[in-house]
Amino acid sequence: MYVVLWILSVFLLVVYSFTQVDLGLTLTTASFWQSIQQAFQYVGYFQRPLSTTFFLGVIILLTISYLFILRKALRNNLSEKMMWRMCILTGVLAGAAYSAFSYDIFNYIFDARIITDYGQNPYLKRALDFPMDPMLSFMHWTHRTYPYGPLWLVVTVPFTAILSGWFLGMFYAMKLIAIGSYILLAWGLYRLMRQLDRRHAVFAVCMVMFSPLVVIELLVSGHNDALMLALAVGGISLLTEGKRIAGILLVLASTLVKQATVFLLPVTLLYGLMQWNGQLRWKGIGSHMSAERIFGILCCVAMSTAVLLVSMRADFQPWYLVWVLVFVPLAVESRVIACAIIVGLSGFGLLRYVPYLYHGDWTSLPLLTWLPVMATTGLVSAAISWYLFRRLT
């Protein structure tokens, strides 16, 4: 029953995502799709109160089904095989959605096309430098040059080279990368948590990978943070297994996708050095805690610092919270508290989209004005999670 409810929730999320197709974008010229797309866009752009209500309803249903999954996993009634089936199914289904809450995927496509279609350097050229390109009619952030690491271009350029001229193909190629990164992240997290607490590794993976915030940001929006985090978590997993060089190199590779994980490098280097010297006691820091738990706390602190600095430089975005969220199971020993933190972060982050969906403008309700509502939602979500699960451990 819990699997059916979860799949239904994800399916409704996918359906809702197509209400946000940009008015300047035609996904396909197929005649049967045109009337469907226009009907969906009418709800998303011209019936905004109704659209916002649908969004909140889908998020609530998604959260309820997520809590059912966690309850099953917390009782050790969810097998490893079922977990992987659900991860793959979630990845494929949610990956089919339109990128309803972010335009970044279009920038990924265009950045790669600057190389494959125009033979120019995206670090030096902007989308605005190609004013005749039809993608400019629906893109955002056309004034900026390429802001990511070179490894992301290595991943994306082959797809735009092969699929040049076929927008829908390039769009779903980016989604395919997101799906693969999502599954790779789940594998790295499972491998990491298995080193720490094998009995509860399945619960840890479910807690992170089925979080509504993670599903929406990494699969629906298709952010390249998925690959960045997959490489970072995979590297940390190798590091905890004693494979220091390979682990540190993977964390370094994650910074070449997106620079946010550069904050993890000092922590991983410190852990690797102490591991090499056989000094994983962390004296004076907390002798009652394992080295891996303290390492996890340091990872959370490092990525929280990244979130704070990026938010101060530009503006807070919900997917920044995923940078911290994936390390919570490693940092927090209590499964109930870890779950409460993740559920709270998810509720806090996703409410950020409500003013935009209702007004169609990010500036209509500034973040600082809306922040108390977001914080209250996050705290209430965390409290409900703690209350539901406190007696199951």
Alpha-carbon distance of 149 to 47, in angstroms, equals 39
Q: What is the pTM of this model?
A: 0.94
Tens-digit pLDDT profile for residues 208-258:
999 999 999 999 999 999 999 999 999 999 988 888 889 999 999 999 999
Tens-digit pLDDT profile for residues 344-359:
999 999 999 999 999 9
Strand segments, DSSP code E, in 102-248 are: none
| DSSP notation for 34-81 | HHHHHHHHHHHHH-HHHHHHHHHHHHHHHHHHHHHHHHHHHTT-S-HH
Among the ranges given (80-89, 96-105, 291-300, 330-339), the one the predictor scored with the smallest mean pLDDT:
291-300
Tens-digit pLDDT profile for residues 26-68:
877 777 778 888 899 999 999 999 999 999 999 999 999 999 9
Alpha-carbon distance of 138 to 20, in angstroms, equals 12
Alpha-carbon distance of 125 to 380, in angstroms, equals 46
- Please provide the size of the chain in residues: 393
Alpha-carbon distance of 128 to 144, in angstroms, equals 8
Alpha-carbon distance of 178 to 182, in angstroms, equals 6
